[in-house]
């Protein structure tokens, strides 16, 4: 794989380098405006002009954002594309279009933001804004060779950005504007599919709230649906594949939910479709491997989408919506290939390729649909239409012109099954698009093969990345580990193996205790890592080792690869598939550690909580002399127990480092004693009327809630009693989002005073006319911060502390942290402080805390800081913090001088582990 390099901000245009100089206000606290510059503004064109003509280098303009509700997912996709295509032979320039269709050139560092809201409010000062879209296209025409649009939904898939590029004669990846318009509109696409001879789902179009109810009633009757209870799907016609999609019963409910879509401004057209009860949903990536304007669409191995309700009756009518698609919970599982008969899969592949060709799509697309068994009879009986096969009916329902490209998206899941790495599939898509343009047809690139598993390659350093486990944060651990694994693969001197630590329940003895060394670890092939849950990974491993299923998958994989090679053999740029097919390897944890010792591997620990963070895994590795990332045994044990952390820091009180008072209660006590008595006891002991509850020995994202009264405690205790997977939003007296609960429930819980902090509000305009400000009243004088520390023991270095600002509520939910919802803004503490006697002292406090606790490698400290005194009130210390693509630690590493991009950041952490072992 080509090495991935990124420009240092020190050498970048001044509009990028000035991101750390945005402080203009002379007031101590009330406003933090983000506008203006401390140095003359220099257009990035001048810098890019000097470098853009490097011989053999393709310049790709990556455009993300857009006006749709999926703009946060667009940012995730763009970040993933950047990670996997940039190299010595390809330069990436990043652009962002905001919700008002204003275009900006942005630093690649901005793509690592959690959501667009992280930088929307300061675009004027951290980006180059174009005065018009025509000025934007003029810039693109001069500075990039081809554009890769990664805008999901409106303006990205409806032909908007494509038409803009076509008018300026700028080459781009993907389908032309006219074909995008037709395929994006679900109702128009359905009509066109009918004309092209495909079976379609019966549908009804609502255009605006004013229409005749009687017409909808007649449609219900014509499709044999009860007008009062008939089950249908209601969805926007032009809003991507999952925004606003819901289930309705009867005409009145249908109208109400359609009007909700209108009133929220999601769309002015609503499609109502018959609910395909008894059907099985699938999605398929189609890749065009033709040349120039010759089509050769090949459908990869489709994925079956299985919803899992886990006994929650309230979700019996669930659908594959936005939350299920992007939040890492056990609400959905994917099967690639589907658990359909081989004739059904072949028919799906044939139909998707045919649809791609007939609708004039280009380069790649994702096509969703349903397989219906013969017992389901809601569709046309016209035998001439495509969709009838021996085993049932296939119907295609949604066409995604720019499929999601997050690290574990369908594109990469299906591509890896047939031999494409992330880099290879993305570069193949770009190279296919280049072949349509005479000026770019000569672009040529070759990708080396990539090794997998426990090979015996010499001359490289072995790295085992371990993730998973059985804590409530195991799904986040999977995201962290996957991100680390993918980033470290960029280094040619490393051979990186992803490894999953399975849940412990399978290794319990008769007394329910777990022998750590007997825990199961799976060494994973490339394609099996790309899942949304650890349970899904384990199931995929078991499937892959089941002989009949393995043979079935192998047969289909060979057929797809043969189809692909019919086109790819004619492409001079294609160097072959770079992912080999190998089976997962199952080991005990003891055998796995022995293997690490044998091949002299360094272990990168990404297991959040449990044995990954309490010193157990660290102790086992040390016993065999295996180097590992993060703090040692004693520091891990201390920080895992929040009470022990407070005791270890108690001697720092005179230096301004404080800890929050805590009261630990058992789950048994909460379930068996009077909740009212417990509440009175807690509030009296902690001297607070509002409390925060959290698991005593778990991660920082699950089971955390604000309790304002005894009734709130009763709701929380009931959730523990019933082993609920989540507490629904607004179940407590204070408004909140969904609270993901630990599974299994925690046996010990910590109660703390809830520290009141003033909201930091994003204001679009102030009284003096300044725009885009963060306004903070500063009444409580406490702000909540998080800060990463890294380095060697006794000499830890603090990164720049930052504050997470959310638009509502008090505690960040798991969804807000990791789903990319547009509610989270991260700012750096330096922008909030104005007192010179406070800010210079602040960085030394995290270092003091880290060195006192004996931390090494890296960790994350969460605390409150008093802006007047500089006192630090420690909340907790995470020795295996989140390492997801948009984690706060990556933000903080990017503002180091020089900045550390994710690949350099993770490599630095790995090198610290090696340095300690030496």
**Per-residue model confidence as pLDDT tens digits over 201-228:** 999 999 877 777 899 999 999 999 999 9
Report how far residue 377's alpha carbon sits from residue 274's, in angstroms, rounded to the nearest whole number: 11
Full-model pTM: 0.86
Contact predicate 790/896, CB 8 Å: no
Q: Which pLDDT score, from 0 to 100, does residue 160 have? A: 96
Identify which of 417, 274, 419, 286 has the alpha carbon closest to the alpha carbon of residue 348: 286
Q: Which pLDDT score, from 0 to 100, does residue 381 have? A: 63
Report how far residue 420's alpha carbon sits from residue 150's, in angstroms, rounded to the nearest whole number: 20
Q: Which pLDDT score, from 0 to 100, does residue 9 have? A: 28
Report how far residue 912's alpha carbon sits from residue 909's, in angstroms, rounded to the nearest whole number: 5
Q: Which pLDDT score, from 0 to 100, does residue 693 have? A: 93
- Average confidence (pLDDT) over 591-612: 96
Angle at 272 between CA 268 and CA 275, to 5 degrees: 150
- Average confidence (pLDDT) over 348-368: 96
Sole residue written with tokens 């946060």: 72
Does the pLDDT value for residue 477 go beyond 70?
yes
**Lookup: tokens for 518:** 């007997």
- Average confidence (pLDDT) over 536-544: 92
Identify which of 175, 96, 109, 99 has the alpha carbon closest to the alpha carbon of residue 136: 96
Contacts for 377 with CB less than 8 Å, ≥ 6 apart:
none
Per-residue pLDDT reduced to its tens digit, 487-519 = 999 898 999 999 999 987 544 443 434 589 999
Name the residue with higher pLDDT: 83 or 241: 83
Tell me the DSSP string of 394-440: EEEEEEESS---STTSHHHHHHHHTT--HHHHHHHHHHHHHTTSTTT
Identify which of 173, 149, 150, 4 has the alpha carbon closest to the alpha carbon of residue 77: 150
Contact predicate 542/549, CB 8 Å: no
Place 842 in a pLDDT band, splitting at 50, 70 and 90.
Answer: low
Q: Which pLDDT score, from 0 to 100, does residue 627 have? A: 97
Place 820 in a pLDDT band, splitting at 50, 70 and 90.
Answer: very low
Contact predicate 252/202, CB 8 Å: no
Q: Which pLDDT score, from 0 to 100, does residue 805 have? A: 66
The sign of the torsion formed by the CA atoms of 441, 443, 449, 450 equals negative
β-partners of residue 173 are none
Contact predicate 667/745, CB 8 Å: yes
CB burial of residue 622 (10 Å; 0-12, 13-18, 19+): middle
DSSP secondary-structure letter at 386? B
Does the pLDDT value for residue 764 go beyond 60?
no
Mean pLDDT rounded to a whole number for the chain? 83
Q: Which pLDDT score, from 0 to 100, does residue 857 have? A: 96
Name the residue with higher pLDDT: 113 or 241: 113
Count Cβ neighbours within 10 Å for each residue of 71-82 and write b for 16 or more, e otherwise: bbbbbbbbbbbb
C-alpha gyration radius of the chain: 27
CA end-to-end distance (rounded Å), the chain:
29
Report how far residue 849's alpha carbon sits from residue 831's, in angstroms, rounded to the nearest whole number: 23
Contacts for 463 with CB less than 8 Å, ≥ 6 apart:
488, 494, 495, 496, 497, 601, 602, 603, 604, 910
Place 767 in a pLDDT band, splitting at 50, 70 and 90.
Answer: very low
**Picking from 119-123, 321-325, 459-463, 801-805, which range would have the lowest pLDDT averaged per residue?**
321-325
Contacts for 838 with CB less than 8 Å, ≥ 6 apart:
867, 868, 869, 870
- Looking at the chain, the whole-number percentage of residues with pLDDT higher than 90 is 57
Place 905 in a pLDDT band, splitting at 50, 70 and 90.
Answer: very high
Report how far residue 890's alpha carbon sits from residue 79's, in angstroms, rounded to the nearest whole number: 12
Q: Which pLDDT score, from 0 to 100, does residue 21 have? A: 25
Identify which of 401, 396, 398, 428 has the alpha carbon closest to the alpha carbon of residue 412: 428
């Amino acid at each position: 794989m080509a090495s991935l390099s990124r420009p240092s901000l020190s050498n970048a245009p001044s509009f990028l380098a000035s991101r750390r100089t945005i402080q203009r206000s002379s007031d101590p606290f009330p406003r933090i405006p983000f506008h203006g510059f401390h140095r003359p503004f220099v257009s990035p064109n001048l810098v890019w002009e000097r470098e853009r003509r490097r011989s053999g280098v393709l310049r790709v303009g990556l455009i993300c954002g857009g006006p749709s509700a999926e703009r946060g997912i667009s940012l995730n996709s763009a970040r993933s594309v950047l990670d996997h295509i940039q190299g010595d032979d390809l330069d990436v320039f990043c652009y962002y279009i905001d919700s008002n269709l204003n275009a900006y050139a942005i630093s690649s560092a901005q793509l690592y933001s959690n959501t667009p809201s992280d930088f929307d409010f300061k675009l004027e000062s951290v980006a180059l804004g174009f005065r018009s879209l025509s000025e934007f296209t003029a810039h693109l025409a001069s500075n990039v060779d081809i554009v890769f649009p990664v805008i999901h939904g409106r303006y990205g898939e409806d032909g908007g950005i494509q038409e803009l590029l076509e008018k300026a004669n700028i080459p781009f990846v993907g389908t032309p504007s006219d074909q995008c318009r037709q395929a994006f509109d679900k109702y128009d696409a359905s009509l066109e599919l009918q004309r092209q001879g495909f079976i379609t789902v019966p549908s009804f179009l609502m255009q605006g709230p004013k229409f005749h109810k009687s017409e909808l009633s007649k449609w219900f009757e014509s499709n044999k649906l009860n007008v009062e209870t008939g089950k249908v799907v209601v969805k926007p016609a032009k809003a991507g594949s999952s925004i606003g999609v819901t289930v309705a019963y009867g005409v009145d409910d249908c109208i109400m939910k359609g009007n909700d879509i209108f009133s929220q401004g999601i769309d002015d057209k609503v499609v109502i479709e018959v609910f395909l009860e008894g059907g099985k949903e699938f999605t398929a990536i189609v890749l065009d491997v033709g040349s120039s304007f010759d089509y050769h669409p090949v459908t990869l191995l489709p994925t079956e989408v299985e919803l899992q309700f886990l006994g929650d009756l309230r979700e019996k009518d669930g659908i594959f919506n936005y939350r299920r698609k992007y939040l890492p919970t056990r609400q959905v599982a994917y099967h690639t290939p589907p658990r359909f008969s081989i004739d059904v899969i072949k028919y799906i592949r044939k139909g998707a390729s045919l649809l791609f060709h007939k609708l004039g799509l280009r380069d790649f697309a994702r096509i969703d649909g349903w397989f219906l068994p013969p017992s389901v009879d809601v569709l046309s009986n016209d035998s001439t239409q495509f969709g009838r096969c021996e085993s049932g009916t296939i119907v295609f329902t949604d066409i995604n012109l720019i499929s999601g490209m997050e690290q574990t998206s369908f594109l990469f899941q299906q591509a890896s099954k047939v031999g494409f790495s992330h880099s290879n599939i993305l570069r193949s898509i770009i190279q296919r698009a280049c072949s349509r343009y005479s000026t770019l047809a000569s672009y040529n690139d070759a990708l080396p093969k990539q090794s997998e598993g426990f090979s015996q390659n010499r001359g490289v350093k072995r790295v085992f990345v371990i993730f998973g486990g059985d804590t409530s944060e195991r799904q986040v651990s999977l995201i962290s580990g996957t991100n680390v694994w993918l980033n470290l693969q960029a280094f040619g001197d490393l051979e990186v193996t992803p490894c999953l630590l399975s849940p412990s329940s399978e290794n319990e003895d008769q007394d329910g205790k777990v022998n750590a060394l007997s825990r199961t670890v799976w060494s994973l092939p490339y394609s099996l890592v790309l899942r949304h849950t650890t349970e899904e990974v384990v199931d995929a491993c078991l499937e892959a080792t089941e002989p009949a299923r393995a043979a079935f998958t192998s047969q289909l994989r060979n057929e797809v690869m043969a189809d692909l090679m019919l086109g790819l053999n004619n492409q001079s740029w294609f160097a072959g598939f770079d992912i080999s097919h190998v089976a997962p390897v199952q080991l005990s944890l003891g055998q796995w550690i022995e293997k690490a010792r044998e091949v002299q591997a360094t272990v990168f620990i990404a297991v959040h909580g449990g044995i990954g963070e309490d010193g157990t895994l660290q102790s086992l590795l040390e016993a065999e002399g295996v180097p590992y990332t993060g703090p040692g045994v004693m520091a891990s044990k201390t920080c895992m127990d929040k009470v022990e952390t407070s005791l270890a820091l108690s001697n720092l009180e005179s230096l301004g480092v404080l800890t929050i008072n805590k009261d630990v209660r058992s789950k048994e006590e909460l379930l068996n004693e009077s909740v009212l008595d417990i509440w009175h006891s807690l509030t009296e002991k902690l001297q607070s009327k509002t409390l925060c509850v959290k698991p005593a020995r778990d991660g920082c994202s699950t089971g955390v809630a604000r309790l304002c009264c005894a009734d709130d405690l009763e709701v929380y205790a009931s959730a523990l009693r019933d082993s609920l997977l989540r507490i629904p939003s607004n179940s407590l007296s204070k408004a909140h989002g969904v609270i993901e609960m630990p599974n299994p429930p925690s046996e010990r819980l910590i109660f703390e005073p809830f520290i009141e902090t003033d909201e930091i509000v994003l204001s679009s305009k102030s009284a003096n006319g300044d725009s885009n400000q963060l306004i903070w009243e500063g009444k409580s004088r406490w702000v909540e911060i998080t800060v990463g520390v890294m380095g060697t023991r006794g000499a830890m270095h603090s990164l720049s502390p930052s504050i997470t600002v959310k638009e509502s509520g008090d505690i960040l939910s798991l969804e807000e942290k990791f789903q990319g919802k547009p509610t989270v803004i991260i700012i750096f503490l330096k922008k909030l402080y104005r007192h010179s006697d406070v800010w210079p002292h602040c960085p030394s406090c995290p270092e003091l805390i880290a060195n006192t606790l004996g931390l090494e490698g890296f960790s994350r400290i969460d605390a409150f800081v008093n802006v007047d005194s500089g006192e630090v009130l420690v909340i907790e210390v995470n020795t295996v913090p989140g390492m997801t693509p948009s984690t706060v630690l990556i933000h903080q590493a990017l503002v180091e001088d020089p900045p550390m991009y994710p690949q350099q950041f993770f490599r630095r952490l790995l090198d610290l582990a090696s340095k300690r072992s030496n």
